A and B are shown apart, each in its own frame.
Chain A
Amino acid sequence: MTAIASPERRATRHLDVAGLAQAGACALMAVVVTALLFAISPLDGTLGFGLVAYALFLTAYAGVLTLTIGPLKRNDCLATVIIASVALLTFVPLVLILGFVVLKGVPGLTNAFFTQTMETVGPLDPPDVGGARHAIVGTLQQVGIAVLISVPFGVLTAVFLSEFAGRRVARVIRFLVDAMSGIPSIVAGLFIYTLFVLRLGHGFSGLNAGLALSVLMLPTVTRTAEEVLALVPGSLREAALALGAPDWRMVVRVVLPTARTGLITAVVLGVARVAGETAPLLMTALGSDGMNTNPFEGQQSSLPLFVFKLIRNPLEGQVTRAWAGALVLIAIVLVLFTVARLAAARLRRETR
């Protein structure tokens, strides 16, 4: 029972407080110097300020590092700073977009937005008259149709890929699904238009929109569902088979229920992917100002169509409604996204 002390794990990624302080001091100095520079010279502009300050900061930091450590370590520190600051650029738009949409959208979020349609609204009416009820109903129906079509197809394909298909067949189908996920959304819309409107003479309807959305949703559902099915432990499958269950029972009673939460993630991610799609709806549902609760016949509106139409209108009231629609849309996507993440986290805990 001699305790062999396990060697302490070397932390290869830790926060270097002293280094951060050094960099922070340089940054502070750079900002101050730039502010002075901008105060005494004709330079101006936020973007320009940022760029000048950043250049000054890099120079100062490089200088400090050259004085304190060797060139190898200096380059390493400089690279760290540059990579970190460029990486931050990725996340700045997230804050800016969310902030901007909330700022612009809140004034239009009146009671009427959820209870009225645009049918009787004049172009100059204030934003507290008229709303997006018809568009919300349309979005719910169209996305619902897309779910009804793409979820069975997607889950069955995922079952085929993970349980039955041979290696080579699986690779081919996976490749096709990936290729399908790259189809531009507008091409999916054109496809449904040529098939249902031109060929079958079906006319514009919410059903068409749902079909176009399902083309876009299918690859997302399939690939996510497949990843989830791969997490189901093989021992469960073997146990079912050893008890004499036929394949289909093994899948329906063991594999799918085990992956339940993950499959929800797959569906929700698919919905998040298509809920904001606008382009394919332009040629399938076409949009309308009034309520149409029948998805099988007649033009139908949807939130993205509603927003896309009004945002291009020069009148203040219409633009306000459009931003309110955008806020609702982004809120829907955020909620769906959070639900999907939570379900995925739960699945990971359950299958561990």
Chain B
Amino acid sequence: MSGGGARAFDVVELRDRGSAQPEPRVIHQSHTTPDRAFRALTAAAGWATLVVLALIALFLVNEARPAVEVAGWDFLKVWEWQPGNEPPAFGIAAVLYGTVVIATIAIVLAVPVAVATALFVSEYLPRRISRTLTTLIDLLAAIPSLIYGMWGLFFLVPKLAGLERWLDAHLGFVPIFDNETGLFGRSMFDAGVVLALMIIPIIATVSREVMSQTPRVLCEAALALGGTRLGMIRKVILPFSRPGIIGGSMLGLGRALGETIAVALVLSVDFRIFPEITQTGGSTVAALIANNFGEAGELERHALIAAGLALFVITLVVNMVARLIVSKAAKGSEFDR
């Protein structure tokens, strides 16, 4: 750096001056008017996000009100959807139930597969192959939900019907697998499987990123102490990335709760609450909105907006909690940087 090469006495002289820190230079920033305008413009764009979120809440609340005033608390309790009746009877209890059940099925199926995928990609494979597979995971996340729904309905549902028959015949004593209707296919289980496939890439991506932030020294230490790769994963990687995996799973949950078109295609909608997940039927909030909006009368449109508001609040809360957990996880692993 110093060009001519530092001589010994330079060093001595430097030492003699002591280790007093030089005064930090005070920086006076004087922005020109265009500068200030540009900064304000970017700041405005940044805060526009908040404005949009607030506007969404505001307008949904506003337009949901006419329906909620008619239904009152029944909106959360009633199982049927007959806004055209006299008196109108509608509520989101059944669809809310369906939403939660289907999202739960999706999460239960997706998390193990996603975590295994993340482990496989980040810990087992050579770099080059793992980069290719990461791209493929991103590609899976980019496939439109419409395509997932069509493929689910025409390819997967007929295949899963066999599995559902088998579950009914051999595990029918478990209430959720019982099916006395004899109708298989287009069930909550089918919708849950399709959603699971859709959220695996999301959970796997977040998990992989968190796993790759595990301090390499700890992994190497575990191996150096004679640990096997399984031991390293169990004792180092999983504990370190657990918050990230939980957060990623919640992001997947948020997506599963709000997914519309795939569910609307796979399910054949009805308004019952039943525990048997392999029976044909069931619905979700989002699918209800998508299916009914086109032919809805005025009151029903307001009711659907109210249902959308409920969905907005639920997914927003799930997502915010998930993001907080993930960002905490990322911070916690700044261990050896």
Q: Using CB atoms and an 8 Å cutoff, list the residues of chain A in contact with chain B.
A: 12-15, 45-48, 72-73, 75-76, 79-80, 82-84, 86-87, 89-91, 93-94, 96-97, 100-101, 104, 152-153, 156-157, 159-161, 163-165, 169, 173, 175-188, 190-191, 193-195, 198-199, 215, 218, 222, 246-248, 251, 269, 272-273, 275-279, 282-283, 286, 304, 307-308, 311-312, 322-323, 326, 329-330, 333-334, 337, 341
Q: How far is the CA of A83 from the CA of B220 in the complex (A)?
A: 21
Q: How far is the CA of A182 from the CA of B154 in the complex (A)?
A: 28
B311 adjacent to A187 (CB under 8 Å)? yes
Given A83-B124, A87-B121, A279-B260, decide whether A157 and B151 contact each other with a Cβ distance below 8 A: no
A97 adjacent to B290 (CB under 8 Å)? no
15 inter-chain pairs at a CB distance below 8 angstroms, sorted by A residue, are A45-B166, A87-B117, A153-B48, A156-B46, A161-B46, A173-B46, A175-B320, A178-B319, A182-B316, A183-B315, A183-B316, A187-B258, A190-B304, A286-B294, A308-B265
B136 adjacent to A311 (CB under 8 Å)? no
A interface footprint on B29-66 (CB within 8 Å = 1, 0 otherwise): 00110110111011111111110110110011011000
A182 adjacent to B254 (CB under 8 Å)? yes
A190 adjacent to B308 (CB under 8 Å)? yes
Taking CB atoms, residues of chain B closer than 8 Å to A272 are: 142
Given A173-B47, A182-B315, decide whether A304 and B146 contact each other with a Cβ distance below 8 A: yes
Taking CB atoms, residues of chain B closer than 8 Å to A46 are: 159
Q: Using CB atoms and an 8 Å cutoff, list the residues of chain B in contact with chain A.
A: 31-32, 34-35, 37-39, 41-50, 52-53, 55-56, 59-60, 62-63, 112-114, 116-117, 119-121, 123-127, 133, 135-140, 142-148, 150-151, 153-155, 159, 162-163, 166, 197, 200-201, 204, 220, 223, 228-231, 233, 251, 254-255, 257-261, 265, 286, 289-290, 293-294, 304-305, 308, 311-312, 315-316, 318-320, 322-324, 327
**Additional A-B contact list (10), CB under 8 Å, known A97-B143, A180-B49, A184-B312:** A13-B126, A89-B113, A164-B39, A182-B255, A183-B316, A194-B60, A215-B52, A247-B38, A273-B142, A311-B150
Query: From residue A41, how far is it (CB to closest CB) to chain B in Å?
Result: 15
Given A90-B113, A90-B137, decide whether A330 and B60 contact each other with a Cβ distance below 8 A: no
**Which of B125, B150, B230, B320 contacts A179, CB < 8 Å?**
B320
Taking CB atoms, residues of chain B closer than 8 Å to A96 are: 151, 155
Q: How far is the CA of A163 from the CA of B139 in the complex (A)?
A: 31
Taking CB atoms, residues of chain A closer than 8 Å to B125 are: 13
Q: How far is the CA of A26 from the CA of B299 in the complex (A)?
A: 64
| Residue of B with least CB distance to A48 | B166
Q: How far is the CA of A218 from the CA of B229 in the complex (A)?
A: 41
Query: From residue A50, how far is it (CB to closest CB) to chain B in Å?
Result: 11
Taking CB atoms, residues of chain A closer than 8 Å to B228 are: 72-73, 75-76
Q: How far is the CA of A261 from the CA of B136 in the complex (A)?
A: 21
Taking CB atoms, residues of chain B closer than 8 Å to A175 are: 320, 323-324, 327
**Which of B133, B147, B322, B323 contacts A91, CB < 8 Å?**
B133
Q: How far is the CA of A222 from the CA of B121 in the complex (A)?
A: 27
Main secondary structure of the interface of B (DSSP, over half): helix
Given A182-B319, A184-B315, A187-B311, decide whether A157 and B49 contact each other with a Cβ distance below 8 A: yes
A282 adjacent to B320 (CB under 8 Å)? no
Query: From residue B231, how far is it (CB to closest CB) to chain A in Å?
Result: 7
A179 adjacent to B316 (CB under 8 Å)? yes
Greatest chain A CB density within 10 A among B139, B220, B294 is at B139
Query: From residue B190, how far is it (CB to closest CB) to chain A in Å?
Result: 14
A47 adjacent to B159 (CB under 8 Å)? yes
Query: From residue B94, how far is it (CB to closest CB) to chain A in Å?
Result: 18
Given A90-B201, A184-B286, decide whether A80 and B124 contact each other with a Cβ distance below 8 A: yes
Taking CB atoms, residues of chain A closer than 8 Å to B120 are: 83-84, 86-87
